[in-house]
Amino acid sequence: MKKDKGMLHGFDKDGKSITILSDGTIIKDTSIKSMVGTSKHRFSKRKLIALAIMLPLLIVGIAQATAYLYYTWNLTLTASTPTIQFLCWANGTKQNTLSLAYNIYASMTVQDLNSTWGINNVGTPRTAYIWFASVTNSTPISNVTINILSPANASLAVLQTNGITNIGEASAQSWTCAADATGETIAIYITGASDVSNTVVNLGLKTIP
């Protein structure tokens, strides 16, 4: 028995706690087993409280793992003119694109030995490439030949195809485009098939800036 302010505390033979008051009154309490159960119940509550505290921390940790940093950057573009351009023989106009129109005749060849536009290089000599990029309909065409000629009329590059079969930059022909204000000539030969119709042939021209 343990004495506490005029009261005695202890256990009976069944393990139940009892309290004897100063006037002799006996107060029985729950068993030790019940107390242990109560202790376990209280421990479970503490676990729940701890889990409730930890859960937001876990959520914050996950959010930090998938967070992003956003950066800003820009492209500064300066207006510039290519050193190699198409040159109009008639008035000296220069431009970066070219469109020429010709008639096509069945089983006949159209020759334009000096088209209205040439190729001009105002910079240092550099390699240029020319190729057939695409064609809307190759059936009307038997042959197309593009010949790039120097100011001295020497052949620099010849691009040729039968029926426009070699499409793409892989079939490009190259030459050294000289620094000459006079410009290089574009000679064109087009042979129509036995049955002709309208079509468009697109060409590519490439060089370093």
- Rounded distance, CA 91 to CA 202, Å? 25
- Answer yes or no: are the C-beta atoms of 141 and 163 closer than 8 Å: yes
Position 127 scores a pLDDT of 96
* Residue % of the chain over a pLDDT of 90: 63
pTM for this entry: 0.66
- Rounded distance, CA 208 to CA 177, Å? 11
- Answer yes or no: are the C-beta atoms of 136 and 200 closer than 8 Å: yes
The domains of the chain are located at: 2-50, 84-207
4 residue type, one letter: D
- Rounded distance, CA 116 to CA 94, Å? 12
pLDDT tens profile 123-151: 999 999 999 999 999 999 999 999 999 99
Position 181 scores a pLDDT of 72
Q: 164 in the Ramachandran plot: left (φ > 0), alpha (ψ -120 to 50) or beta?
A: left
